[in-house]
Structure 1
């Protein structure tokens, strides 16, 4: 199966490189909508389902229920226990993956054309008729609790948890979607059933497919797969108005190297200035070894092995954040340099050479994302979730190329906020202490 999938990915990516991506919009009699990239030469279909809301839909006091529920979808359904379901999946050479994040619950399926009907029936069973057997619940619960306890000893996880609580407070984003030891330990089977109906519903599903399937076949498949879901799920959470104060929050932790998260408010994906901001970030911290932060913090001063920044566009909040790790006796200098670079780009923008290299980086790598059915289906769903139109895949590079030096300078001065740049540092940093609290 692995060798065949590799060949399929190679053939498909070669086909995609020869022509523009042709996205069909499909609607089923039952009202489900999907995007499809059809490739009949390859006997393989990738299907992607994303349910908006994700772990943010946990009921009050039930943190971790949706995460636990999602992990159990492949642990038995219908008249099959976990082992029987796994054996049936393997016998069809199918692959199902269930994952949940802050904003989406995603189900990915990879099936052979010859087994498509049987594989989709099995997938439907896992989505519509999960068993939530007592032994499976306890086994998966124990795995999740073990992971939570491990995170309590992980500086990176501690930094993330501290940052999220500081920025998001009581919003679902402000706590770990895995839950706590106490909240996960208290979850009942009824809680998982409630989490299932709250999350997997018709009114929030986004669908994409790529490979050997026609629009008519996909239309029928969607109704077969999803018609028995509840019509509506739980209400989505409120938006968060992100506010930070410039300064440092130190979390003492016994480790030779400090870990830091830094950032402030960001920019929405649908903002007209998103592309200039996106290109600007490649120059600042998102362009690998070519980025300013890497050059100043690593190459010139040897303060870290890696530092980066990115635009974090969530459904209910927008941030501009980054990460760095450095020895305890050097992290203070690293944070100072990061702040200086942040302020310099905010005030002066970037150079024409930096802009040109950023455009080449972004446009040259884009076609490589379409390197197989699965990645294409994932991209199509992601585009729908972001409110993009199908033609985006064929116009995106032109929008990158249209960004000017003046655009970047103007946007950098607006979205980079050195006075609001806050660092959460976990470790034993020499010369650093908490200077402001949020």
Structure 2
């Protein structure tokens, strides 16, 4: 539902890939702080705003309000209706993007130096003066409802929803941020205004800026853009009470291929052992075709096109999860193999060869993320919200390389919990002994 304006900006975004960036902390006269990377080689700037909270702030009975609100910020602001707002953005060769996730509400903007003041003024109006007109609300509501209906017949979405309900209980994470057909249909304009007021608050804001702008210019931009936002919002939800029972749960759905999600408790990114856990996950299921799960499930047995795992660090939950899809008559074997490998690695650990390959993969891939103003702004905003030091980008690979085999195998023994590895399957799996249906 969010449109992108003026493709010309995207062509200006490419910069040489680099992980060592000169980040400076900038604080405006009113006290708004941002991280800045100056890049004056092209007349273009990327701005990333991240507000902690996201769809987890939805009020009871109003699931989907924050997501629907995100789609409305470009649908009219100040004295501009949706059509006029879109035209104004396009005429400035700018792009604005608004998104709601479980823990964050994000605003991404790209604009040319020559149009900076006009672009910032237009962006400001969308943040502090959205109109939420009846016509726009109904138009975007219809788009969201269409997405929800489509998800009801998507095995991946069905598995994801069932996994969330199984693991997160009554926490907001347990239900999709898009809401349900019933909850979205019942949202009023007042609900959307409340969601907007709750989500866009300065005391939970983290900012990354990259491009053709100086520190002094950024100070003025920050105050012009953000000073009129409210300072505080409602309290964030408590941490989720996770339920990993070690079982296999099946949601019956008529499809030739079952989708299985699996998970267990994970590790916070601020844990001293996080890099060891990250390397362990790379070996187990996060390292592409060389990972253990891909080798055992795909390459040796041909049970799937892919089996993956990853560490998920949410504000209210840390989990280690993964996924695999397989034909209904083969998914039971795929799950059996994953369980067996999980238990084997927990007991035996990994090899020095596997660790060195994982380090090479992780350190080699990292600089490739820094491939333009927009991605770098996104990364440095994310670094702030995750509590990383300002020199993290420069020191990250050194920390990866410092991890020893002994650390990784100790983490494997302590973190991997085969008895809690829980599977949720959407499909019509054959020969699978389910804990519940």
| TM-score normalised to structure 2 length | 0.97
Alignment partner, residue 122 of structure 1: 122
Q: Distance in 2 between matches of 1:183 and 1:316?
A: 23
1:13 aligns with 2:20: no
Aligned to 1:32: 32
Equivalent position of 2:323 in the other structure: 323
Aligned mates of 2:184, 2:436 — CA distance in 1: 33
Determine the C-alpha separation between the residues in 2 that align with 1:264 and 1:159: 16
Indicate if the aligned counterparts of 2:77 and 2:129 stay in contact, CA closer than 8 A. Answer: yes
Indicate yes or no: 2:189 matched with 1:203.
Answer: no
**Does structure 1 retain, via aligned residues, the 8 Å contact 2:9–2:94?**
no
Shift of 1:433: 3.6
Structure 1's consecutive aligned runs of 4 or more residues displaced over 6 angstroms after TM superposition are: none
Aligned to 2:68: 68
Contact 1:250 1:433 in 2 (8 A): no
* Residue correspondences, number: 432
What's the CA shift for 1:349? 1.1
In structure 2, what is the Cα distance between the partners aligned to 1:279 and 1:224? 43
Q: Which residue of 2 aligns with 1:51?
A: 51
Which residue is 2:105 aligned to? 105
The correspondence of residues 356-371 of structure 1 with structure 2, limited to 5 A, is: 356-371=356-371
- Residue 269 of structure 1 pairs with residue 274 of structure 2: no
Question: Is the CA contact (8 Å cut-off) linking 2:164 and 2:175 kept in structure 1?
Answer: yes
Cα pair 1:245 1:436 within 8 Å, conserved? no
Counterparts of 2:190 and 2:10, CA distance in 1? 39
| Residue equivalent to 1:414 | 414
Matching residue of 1:341: 341
Where do residues 244-283 of structure 1 align in structure 2 (5 Å cutoff)? 244-283=244-283
Task: Decide which moves more: 74-83 or 241-250.
Answer: 241-250
Per-residue deviation at 1:150?
1.1
Alignment of 1:200-239 (within 5 A): 200-239=200-239
Q: Secondary structure at the match of 2:411?
A: helix
Partners in 2 of 1:301 and 1:434 — Cα distance?
22
Alpha-carbon deviation of 1:3? 5.5
Q: How far apart are the structure 2 equivalents of 1:383 and 1:270?
A: 12
Given the alignment of the two structures, is residue 307 of structure 1 paired with residue 300 of structure 2, yes or no? no
What are structure 2's unaligned runs of at least 5 residues?
A: 1-5
CA-to-aligned-CA distance 1:226-274 (integer Å, 9 cap, x gap) = 1111111111000123231112001111011000000111101111110
> Equivalents in 2 of 1:126, 1:2: separation in Å?
21
Matched position secondary structure for 1:267 = coil
Matched residue SS, 1:282 = helix
| Cα displacement string for residues 11-34 of structure 1 (whole angstroms, at most 9, x for unaligned residues) | x225x47xx311000001111100
8 Å CA contact 1:359, 1:401 repeated in 2: yes
Residues of 1 paired with 2:8 and 2:192: CA distance? 37
In the alignment, the residues of structure 1 paired with residue 41 and residue 430 of structure 2 have an alpha-carbon distance, to the nearest angstrom, of 61
Closer, same or farther: CA 314–186 of 1 in aligned 2, 3 Å:
same
d(CA) in 2 for partners of 1:164, 1:266: 15
Cα distance between partner residues in 2 of 1:185 and 1:434: 35
Q: Is the 8 A contact 1:47 1:207 kept in 2?
A: yes
Between the aligned partners of 1:220 and 1:167, the Cα distance in structure 2 is 45
1:179 match: secondary structure: coil
Q: Matched residues in 2 for 1:9 and 1:302: separation?
A: 40
1:363–1:397 contact (8 Å) kept in structure 2: yes
Structure 1 segments unaligned to the other structure (5+ residues):
none
SS at match of 2:16: helix
Distance, in Å, in 2 between the alignment partners of 1:71 and 1:234 is 21
Cα distance, 1:2 vs structure 2? 3.6
